[in-house]
Every structure is written in structure tokens, then in C-alpha cells.
Amino acid sequence: MEENKRIKKHTPQNWVDSFSAAIEGIILATKTEKNMKIHFGIAFGAIILALILRISKISLLLIFISALFVLFAETFNTAIEYLSDFVSQEHSPHLKAVKNISAGAVLLSAMAAFIIGYEIFSKYLYRVVYYFLIMIKSPAGSDISIIVISLVLVLIIFIKAVFGKGTPLRGGMPSGHAAVAFSIWLMVSFLTFNPVASLLTLVLAFIIAISRIKGGIHSRLEVLMGSLLGILVTALIFKFFYF
């Protein structure tokens, strides 16, 4: 009898209490989970963009459903993590598997939302990228690519020598891999005049940059500075010699 009372003590007794508990849970998940903040930010940005572009009601509805689905999955994942930590603070392969599976559910929902968002916004994205590229299109060939990459590598080696940390191919300020990756992205954008190729190389550049951070090879600042260096050098070379 006493056990039932204790259970009811933590169970909402009416719909007002249930609603308040649900809101409290969402707020707690948002406060404690960084990914929840990111998902909320992306969802808010996507909805605002959809309203600005005045997309169809069906497309707007799909954006709303996708955003709520991702937030639901992340909230459920947070609940699983709280429960797993409550059950045991020690390392357990079973609890780790539970956490990984729930995190996989979040990833699947995010992939579905990305596909829907891409299908809805891609035509607007391509239009913007197209006009951007047509304004800066250059008749440059492969010779300028070699010059730009060579100059980026020389600057990377020089700067690393000044800071005295890392090697030309590993560690130190700035990240050479990030610099070359973002330099190649900008060159592909300038030379191919193709929004799809530009987008794909940008994604690849981001993956390379993130891998340097996740691998513990570079700090976020080193990767950021490398990325900016690659973009700046490439833009300046094209500006001065071909625009």
C-alpha cells in the first residue's frame, strides 16, 4: 500500500500536471543536452526560412513534422541516457549498447529530416549558388589550382615554423588538412560553375575538418584558422589574377 502511494506521488494526477511534467521534461532535456539545443536551433531556422521563401503548405507541414520527429527522438534518447546512468554508473556493454541504439534512432530521424529539407530547399539553394558563381566565374584552368595549393602549403609550413608546434602534416597551428580542403572547395566552386559539385566538396571539407578535431590532432581553433587561411588565400589569388 505504501509502495503504491510512493508511485502515485511521482505520477501526475490530472492533465494539467501531466502537461506541466511534459514541458518540464523538454526544458530539462534542452538545458542538459547540447544536441537538443542544436536541433531546436536548426528547426527554428528551417521554419523561419520556409516562411520567408513562402513554400507550399504541404512542404511547411513536412518541415514541422520532420523537426518535431527529430526533437522527439533526441528527447527519448536523453531519457534513455538518464535511465541508464541511474541503473548503473559503472561501464556496462549492455547499457552502452542501449545508449548507442537510442543514439542511432536520433541519427536516422535526422537523416530523414535532412532528406526532406534538401528536397524542399534545394531548388532555392541551387538558385542562390548559381547566381553567386555566375558573378565570380573565372576562365582559370588547372595552372591556377597548382599555384593556389602550393601557396597554401608554403604558408602552412611557414606559420607552423613560427609557432614551433606540430609537423607540416600533423598537429600545430594551423591545420594544413583543413586549409587544403577548404581551398579545394573554393577552387571547385570557381572552376566548375556547378552548385552540386560545390556543395559536395564543401561537405567533404567539413568532414575532413571535423576528423582532425575528433582525432585529437588539432584543436577547434587550429582547424578554424586553417579553414579560413585556405579560403582567404584562394579567394585572393582568384580575385587578383582572374576576376
CA distance 166 to 62: 48
Question: Residue 146, SS3?
Answer: helix
- Does residue 1 surpass a pLDDT of 60? no
What's the sign of the alpha-carbon dihedral 35, 80, 17, 72? positive
Residue 12: φ, ψ to 5°? -55, 135
**Stronger pLDDT, 94 or 135, i.e. the higher one:** 94
pLDDT above 70 (res 91): yes
Condensed to tens digits (0 to 9), the pLDDT of residues 97-115 reads: 888 888 888 889 989 888 8
Q: What cell numbers appear for 204 in the block?
A: 567533404
More confident residue, 218 or 5: 218
Residues 235 and 161 placed together within one structural domain of the fold: yes
Q: Is 167 within the bounds of a domain?
A: yes
Instruction: Convert the pLDDT of each residue in 221-237 to its tens digit.
Output: 888 988 898 888 888 88
Tell whether 88 and 110 lie within a shared domain. Answer: yes
Say how many domains are in the chain: 2
Q: What residue numbers bound the domain in which 47 lies?
A: 33-135
Domain boundary among 85, 116, 135: 135
| 176 plus 209 within the same structural domain | yes
The verdict on pTM exceeding 0.85 is no
Residues ≥6 apart with Cβ < 8 Å to 87: 95
Question: What is the average pLDDT across 57-82?
Answer: 88
Domain termination residue (choose one: 97, 113, 135) = 135
